[in-house]
């Protein structure tokens, strides 16, 4: 027996397998109980995904309105179901969604958990006791004109759209942090590097600007991918033929669902294809992988650029957020970039899960949509948290030693590339070789040889020219 809601009083519910006792105060029923017992996988429950619970409530609410509009559901039951769904969408009874998000049955357990909770709450609204299903039934009334195979995927689409919004906002926060550092360090000259070797000068601001731009691109791609999940298959019922749904139901249900969610939802033009296909989630998961990899690349750069402080690059100083070692006093590690990269690796793993689950779908239904929804949900949540953590606990607190960076530029062999147009290739090569073998700086040798005046050299080595600053 589930551990929640045990008062010592029970009601008896029946399904095709037999009778079971249900805690009297529980809003879930026998189908939910069996799913709770069968699927003990992740250690979490549907209650941890409020977006999905709200989406399920909205789907059932839209269905009730459509069924009443078409004369299939009487006004009293329709109003009770509508009211119950509204309360659940507002946050009530989420603790009654007690089953594991990863489950067999293509989401049937999730759908029945919703049907039972809504039915029992609606019964209370009508003044009846929980479990009096002869008055309002989870299947006959809450699930009217539906199947798990259209109600659950539609709810997953809506939940995914809503769950993506925090990530879009978090990416924007991270992008803004990078842009702020780009402005702060606009004229701070440093050495750019290719293949981990000195290349040519740039500014710290340009490096941060590049990160901001790539984050903006990823945010745009993520927004584009959401257009694919606004196409729904509600009205398809079991396999897309619309069996047991009346004429006009799909259109009416979609119209009500648009009004309830505020999303630009449309009914798929081919419900059989839509019921078996999960391509929108494969695409979205791929975009999330792209976002994760780009952010992890930024984190890799941050770790390299902050390496040291004495024996590394030390271009950037990350804020110290905790002690770095239990044995090395004074050591501070780049723990924030490290944790965000680990999130990225997890997202890549989730993408592979989505890929395999999509490929494993057979014939008219993909039975593995629960793990697709769970994996994408975790990726969205963890990436959003990672972006905010990276912005607030790392990027916002980064500092630089401008004079040290300048000395490195002036001492770098790569600086000679900036002087090549004035000195010529042969003279520049000679200066570079001497600098390399003697350890002396390029600027020092150029002045010593009288190749340029101090005034000309300062002009050539100005941040504006070295980094080609135009704004």
Catalytic residues: 325
DSSP helix, strand, coil percent of the chain (3-state; round to 5): 60, 5, 30
Residue 24 near residue 9 (C-beta atoms within 8 A): yes
Quick one: which H or E segment has residue 200? strand 197-203
Query: What contacts 177, CB < 8 A, 6 or more positions away?
Result: 391, 392, 395, 396
| Residue pointed to by tokens 């590049």 | 210
Quick one: which H or E segment has residue 203? strand 197-203
Task: Give strand ranges (E) for 306-390.
Answer: none
Q: Pseudo-torsion of CA 259, 93, 382, 230, nearest 10°? A: -20
Distance of alpha carbon 21 from alpha carbon 15, whole angstroms: 11
Residue 25 near residue 7 (C-beta atoms within 8 A): yes
Angle between helix 108-125 and 50-69 (nearest 10)? 60
DSSP state of 396: G
DSSP helix/strand/coil, 104: coil
| Residue pointed to by tokens 């600053």 | 469
Residue 80 near residue 135 (C-beta atoms within 8 A): no
How far is C-alpha 217 from the geometric centre of its chain's CA atoms? 15
DSSP helix/strand/coil, 191: strand
DSSP helix/strand/coil, 173: helix
DSSP helix/strand/coil, 217: helix
């Amino acid at each position: 027996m589930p551990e929640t809601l045990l008062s010592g009083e029970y009601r008896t519910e029946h399904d095709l397998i037999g009778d079971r006792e249900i805690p009297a105060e529980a809003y879930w029923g026998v189908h939910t109980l069996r799913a709770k017992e069968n699927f003990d996988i992740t250690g979490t429950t549907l209650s941890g995904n409020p977006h999905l619970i709200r989406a399920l409530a909205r789907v059932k609410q839209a269905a009730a309105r459509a069924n009443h509009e078409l004369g299939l559901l009487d006004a009293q039951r329709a109003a009770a179901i509508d009211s119950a769904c509204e309360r659940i969408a507002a946050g009530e009874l989420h603790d009654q969604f007690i089953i594991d998000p990863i489950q067999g049955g293509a989401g049937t357990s999730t759908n029945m958990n919703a049907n039972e909770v809504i039915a029992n709450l609606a019964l209370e609204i009508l003044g009846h006791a929980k479990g009096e299903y002869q008055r309002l039934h989870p299947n006959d009334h809450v699930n009217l004109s539906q199947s798990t195979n259209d109600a659950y995927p539609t709810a997953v689409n809506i939940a995914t759209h809503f769950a993506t919004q925090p990530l879009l906002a978090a990416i924007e926060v991270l992008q803004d942090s990078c842009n702020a550092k780009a402005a702060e360090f606009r004229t701070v000259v440093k050495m750019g590097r290719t293949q981990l070797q000195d290349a040519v000068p740039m500014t710290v601001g340009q490096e941060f600007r590049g990160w901001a731009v790539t984050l903006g691109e990823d945010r745009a791609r993520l927004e584009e991918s959401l257009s694919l999940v606004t196409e729904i298959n509600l009205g398809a019922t079991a396999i897309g033929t619309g069996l047991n749904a009346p004429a006009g139901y799909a259109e009416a249900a979609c119209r009500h669902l648009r009004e309830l969610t505020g999303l630009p939802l449309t009914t798929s033009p081919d419900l059989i294809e839509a019921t078996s296909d999960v391509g929108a989630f494969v695409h979205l998961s791929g975009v999330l992988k792209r976002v994760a990899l780009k952010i992890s690349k930024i984190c890799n750069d941050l770790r390299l650029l902050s390496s040291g402080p004495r024996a590394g690059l030390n271009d950037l100083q990350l804020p110290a957020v905790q002690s770095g070692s239990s044995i090395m006093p004074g050591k501070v590690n780049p723990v924030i970039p490290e944790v965000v990269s680990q999130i990225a690796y997890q997202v890549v793993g989730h993408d592979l899960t989505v890929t395999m689950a999509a490929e494993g779908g057979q014939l008219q239904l993909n039975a593995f949509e629960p793990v697709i929804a769970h994996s994408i949900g975790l990726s969205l949540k963890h990436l959003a948290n990672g972006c905010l953590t990276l912005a607030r606990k790392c990027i916002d607190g980064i500092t630089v030693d401008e004079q040290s960076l300048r000395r490195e530029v002036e001492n770098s062999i790569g600086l000679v590339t900036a002087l090549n147009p004035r000195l010529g290739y042969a003279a520049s090569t000679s200066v570079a070789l001497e600098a390399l073998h003697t350890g002396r700086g390029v600027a020092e040798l150029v002045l010593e040889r009288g190749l340029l005046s101090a005034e000309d050299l300062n002009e050539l080595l100005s941040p504006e020219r070295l980094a080609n600053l135009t704004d």
